[in-house]
Amino acid sequence: MPKFAANLSMMFGEVAFLDRFAAARQAGFDAVEFLFPYAFDADDIANRLARQQQQLVLFNLPAGDWNAGERGYACDPRRIGEFQDSVGQALEYAEELQVAQLHCMAGKLPPKVTPERAREVFIDNLKFATAAARERGVRLLIEPINTFDIPGYFLNGSKQALHIIDEVGADNLLLQYDIYHMQRMEGELAATIRAHLSRIGHFQVADNPGRHEPGTGEINYPFLFRLLDELGYQGHVGCEYNPAGATVDGLGWRDALAQ
């Protein structure tokens, strides 16, 4: 059975964010991830992790004004300086929280910017970020995201992401493969995983439709989890889904795998 990390930005919403670490531990999660730590002091999060003896496996670089609809700006030529500053901020948190990998959101294609120019900026920014991350022993991940949930998102396919990784040419840049997003954009889940597992640094899961728990939709998660075991995947699988009800009431899919 893969190792699962609770996504605390989406799960355990019944309690305040800093209380979700304890809720996840009580539900059997010894690893967690979340979108962003920046609204909190790193010490406060570190104390929660230590108290619950949990590993933090992932969070995102700053992504702009989330409530206003921003979803990153790494492909925006007008915000290169802001992006470089955000890398430093993320790495400071990463060191304090002892996390080994960060996700860099590409962002939506900016108005009046061609896809070609956005790609050029994204690659240059990734070269900057991977060089800075390497000095701290951190891996950087990029994730294709479906354009139904985030219309206009620049990075939306696994082949597109892999070609960008090739062009950046950094050994600490890997693919973050969200099974839900890629089911919606392209399918071919098992074939893609088999072909590119060595280049995938992290998986995330949710079912489709609804982005709820595995087992609530069309994706054959028992098959895919067995495949990850067969292929020898050693990393974590982030549970980045919206619980259909109370979080703990929807964990039967995970408990069934342990039987």
Give catalytic residues, as residue numbers: 143, 240
CB atoms within 10 A of CB 206: 25
Instruction: Extract the tokens encoding 178.
Output: 């969200």
Q: Check if the beta carbon of residue 108 is closer than 8 Å to that of residue 150.
A: yes
Tell me which residue has tokens 């693919």. 175
Cβ neighbours for 209, distance < 8 A, ≥ 6 positions apart: 217, 218
Rounded Cα gap, residues 62 and 85, in angstroms: 10
Rounded Cα gap, residues 252 and 215, in angstroms: 9
Q: Which amino acid is at 226?
A: R
Rounded Cα gap, residues 118 and 116, in angstroms: 5
Q: Is 240 helix (H, G, I), strand (E, B) or coil?
A: coil
158 dihedral zone (left: phi>0; alpha: psi -120 to 50; beta): alpha
Strands (E), the chain: 3-7, 31-33, 55-60, 101-103, 139-142, 173-178, 200-205, 236-239
Q: Give the chain's count of helices (H) and strands (E).
A: 9, 8
Q: What is the DSSP string of 197-225?
A: GGGEEEEEE--TTTS-STTSSS--HHHHH
